[in-house]
Amino acid sequence: MIPTSLSSKFQGVISMNAFRCYLSEFISTFFFVLAAVGSVMSSRKLMAGDVTGPFSVLIPAIANAFALSSSVYISWNISGGHVNPAVTFGMAVAGRISVPTALFYWTSQMIASLMACLVLKVTVVEQHVPIYKIAGEMTGFGASVLEGVLAFVLVYTVFTANDPRRGLPTAVGPIFIGFVAGANVLAAGPFSGGSMNPACAFGSAMVYGSFKNQAVYWVGPLLGGATAALVYDNVVVPAEDDRGSSNDDATGV
């Protein structure tokens, strides 16, 4: 017999409202990955295959900033606008969403990323879907730490933008989230790729057919996201009021 508490948790994640959240995460993640990975392919086309020029980083950084701002905004009031398993993991660690909900979010994000990369593979036949790579001067550990730091900054910004006590207008939070993502790509793109998003790295690796160093883009961002959640909620801005009202702001489930 299934325990009552466990049964009630799964009832909450299998409902029409929950389905809307999963669909929202799918749509927003699909759009983001399509733009983020597609911008790398676009930059290669514009620079005749040159992957070392400054525009190979600048174009994806701008695309990441614009796409993430838009993707977060369109799902902000439905699913919370996670668009990233690291953000979802941070929300789960902070207790803002349940573990079953986080798993369904992850599933939606991973499928969306895979579908976006498949669309790019089918439509842009003269290029391979690019994957995130580590520069020669970086070790796997160093790249993982760097990705973790980038994810920490990103998830910390998400928590800040999502805090109702700041009284920010709905449209402002996603803009700052996009800004920090673009800045991170500019800072770390040439070294670790500046992924910060396990779903984005997974989709491109799956379509490309290589999972080399894939752990870098999972371990680092997930640990960074969890650390950011714990630091924000328990150290920097500890909850002094009823946190129950903010749960609805973090997710629609």
Q: Which domains are delineated in the chain?
A: 14-235 (1.20.1080.10)
Angstrom CA distances, 187 to 57, 175, 202, stand at 9, 19, 22
Q: How large is the C-alpha radius of gyration of the chain? A: 18
Q: Give the residue ranges of the chain where pLDDT is below 70.
A: 1-12, 49-52, 168-169, 239-253
Q: How far apart are CA 62 and CA 42, in angstroms?
A: 12
The pLDDT of residue 1 is 43
Cβ contact 227:114 at 8 Å? no
Pair of tokens at residue 225: 């996201």
Pair of tokens at residue 32: 């983001």
Q: How far apart are CA 117 and CA 9, in angstroms?
A: 33
| pTM for this predicted structure | 0.87
Pair of tokens at residue 118: 């498949």
Positive or negative: CA dihedral 230, 152, 69, 78: negative
The amino acid sitting at 232 is: Y
Three-state DSSP class for 2? coil
H or E element that contains 19: helix 16-46
Name the DSSP class of 123: H
The pLDDT of residue 244 is 45
Start-to-end CA distance of the chain, whole Å, equals 25
The pLDDT of residue 3 is 53
Cβ contact 24:79 at 8 Å? yes
Cβ contact 24:252 at 8 Å? yes
